[in-house]
């Protein structure tokens, strides 16, 4: 990325927003950064911004909700009036409401889609006349591969990825300026959006991935910008395993090995032993006495949630190898 003296950025002011602000201040002399979010600035973030200002940056925090068209427009207008130009935009606003799709309500889905769909379109339209050098979208690998409990988040990020292609097409026709890049991030070690440790363990186990270190992630963004691509996926961990998974389309193995000759297995005994094993695993996770678990009862009657499903999947994968993540969304023991 070209290093300039006077840069004006607009971004969501979250965990990653601050990590990148910190890096820009480290690399660019006296940059101008505009950070935004809907909330009032917290005392903790104010301290971090003060520290960045002490290193020569001009940093402003503007309260704005990008899902509101007029607020996105006002923001861009304000930046141009106040600073004379806007060189680049990093869209890192996002919200997660993880839960299985059957349990999600309309409002939760809307909350997840809004910043990445209407928020992104509003920002793009508000800045369409701007001579931007770049417009970077912080998407997620969930947009490409999906993730249990994140159907809405996956859709929101897939929209970002597609919109990057659309905006690059508009730029090719002279209707926008600057490169558009959608970055599908994996989990960051020190980002704002975390996932629960069990999901992290499963990600490691089945994909060979590990959370992205700050310095690696920052360097990856510069490499992605230099690559000339409109969409880039970034992953960190065991390269061979990750490459295999991505290139193979990650087809899950069958839950039960096909090598067993089913005709030689006593089906009733098998069902009974499987039920006992399942009750033991389920009891461990729900902290329920396994003898009190009724194998014919729907799982949701025991208050199972997405975290428990993740834990259950991990335990089952520990026993049987990789399983389809859809298994427990439809199974009734
Ligand atoms: N961190 C990760 O591990 C990771 C992994 C993959 C992808 N990503 C993507 O990277 C981006 C940044 O992640 P993060 O970890 O920095 O998340 P974060 O700490 O939760 O920050 C997200 C920011 O978005 C702002 N925001 C949400 N809705 C907004 C709206 N309507 N208008 C303006 N600002 C809004 C939030 O501020 P307010 O609440 O004040 O509005 C918050 O500051 C997200 O889009 C996420 O999907 C992150």
pLDDT tens per residue, the chain (333 residues)? 333 333 344 444 568 999 999 999 999 999 999 999 999 999 999 999 999 999 999 999 999 999 999 999 999 999 999 999 999 999 999 999 988 888 899 999 999 999 999 999 999 999 999 999 999 999 999 999 888 888 999 999 999 999 999 999 999 999 999 999 999 999 898 877 765 656 566 666 778 898 899 999 999 999 999 999 999 999 999 988 888 888 776 533 333 333 344 455 677 777 888 888 888 888 888 888 888 888 888 877 887 777 788 788 777 777 766 666 655 653 333
Cα–Cα distance, 170 to 53 (Å, whole number): 36
**231-233 and 58-63 strand pairing:** unpaired
| Residue 96 CB–ligand 1 contact under 6 Å | no
The contacts of residue 126 (CB under 8 Å, 6+ apart) are 69, 72, 73, 75, 76, 77
| Residue 37 CB–ligand 1 contact under 6 Å | yes
- Return the pLDDT at 308: 82
| Residue 93 CB–ligand 1 contact under 6 Å | yes
Contact 137, 163 (CB under 8 A): yes
Residue 92 CA, ligand 1 centroid: distance in Å: 5
Query: Could you identify the atom of ligand 1 that is nearest to the CA of residue 94?
Result: 45
- Return the pLDDT at 217: 96
- Return the pLDDT at 196: 60
For residue 257, CA distances in Å to 88, 260, 265, 269 come to 52, 6, 13, 17
Residue 94 CA, ligand 1 centroid: distance in Å: 4
Residue 93 CA, ligand 1 centroid: distance in Å: 4
The contacts of residue 28 (CB under 8 Å, 6+ apart) are 3, 4, 5, 7
For residue 33, what are the β-bridge partners? 9, 59
Best residue among 92, 136, 213 to mutate for probing ligand 1, ranked by most atoms within 8 Å of CB:
92
Residue with tokens 């690696």, as numbered in its chain: 216
Q: What is the DSSP string of 31-87?
A: -EEEEEESSPPPHHHHHHHHHHHTTT-EEEEEE--TTSHHHHHHHHHHHHHHHS---
Residue 141 CA, ligand 1 centroid: distance in Å: 15
| Residue 150 CB–ligand 1 contact under 6 Å | no
pTM: 0.77
Neighbours of 160 (CB within 10 A): 23
> Would you state the structure tokens that stand for residue 331, as one six-digit string?
């199974």
Residue with tokens 């990093």, as numbered in its chain: 90
For residue 281, CA distances in Å to 243, 308, 315 come to 32, 11, 7
């Amino acid at each position: 990325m070209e290093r300039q003296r006077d840069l004006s950025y607009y971004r969501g002011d979250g965990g990653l927003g601050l990590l990148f602000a910190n890096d820009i201040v480290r690399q660019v002399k006296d940059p101008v950064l505009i950070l935004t979010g809907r909330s009032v600035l917290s005392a903790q973030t104010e301290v971090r911004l003060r520290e960045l200002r002490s290193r020569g940056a001009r940093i402003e925090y503007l309260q704005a909700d990008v899902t509101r068209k007029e607020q996105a427009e006002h923001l861009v207008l304000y930046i141009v009036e106040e600073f004379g130009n806007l060189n680049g935009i990093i869209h890192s606003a996002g919200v997660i409401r993880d839960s299985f799709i059957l349990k999600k309500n309309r409002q939760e889905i809307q909350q997840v889609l809004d910043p990445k769909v209407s928020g992104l379109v509003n920002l793009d339209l508000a800045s369409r006349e701007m001579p931007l050098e770049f417009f970077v979208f912080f998407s997620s690998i969930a947009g490409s591969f999906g993730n249990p409990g994140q159907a809405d988040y996956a859709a929101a990020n897939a929209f970002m990825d597609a919109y990057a292609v659309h905006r690059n097409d508009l730029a090719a026709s002279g209707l926008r300026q600057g490169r558009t890049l959608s970055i599908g991030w994996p989990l960051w070690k020190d980002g704002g959006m975390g996932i629960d440790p069990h999901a992290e363990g499963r990600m490691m186990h089945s994909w060979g991935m590990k959370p992205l270190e700050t310095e690696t992630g920052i360097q990856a963004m510069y490499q992605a910008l230099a690559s000339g691509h409109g969409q880039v996926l970034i992953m960190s961990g065991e390269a061979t395993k990750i490459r295999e998974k991505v290139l193979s389309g990650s087809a899950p193995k069958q839950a039960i090995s096909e090598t067993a000759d089913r005709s030689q297995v006593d089906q009733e005994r098998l069902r009974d032993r499987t039920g006992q094993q399942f009750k033991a695993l389920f009891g461990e996770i729900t902290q329920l006495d396994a003898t009190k678990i009724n194998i014919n009862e729907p799982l949701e009657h025991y208050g199972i949630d997405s975290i428990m499903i993740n834990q259950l999947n991990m335990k089952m994968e520990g026993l049987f190898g990789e399983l389809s993540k859809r298994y427990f969304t439809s199974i009734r023991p």
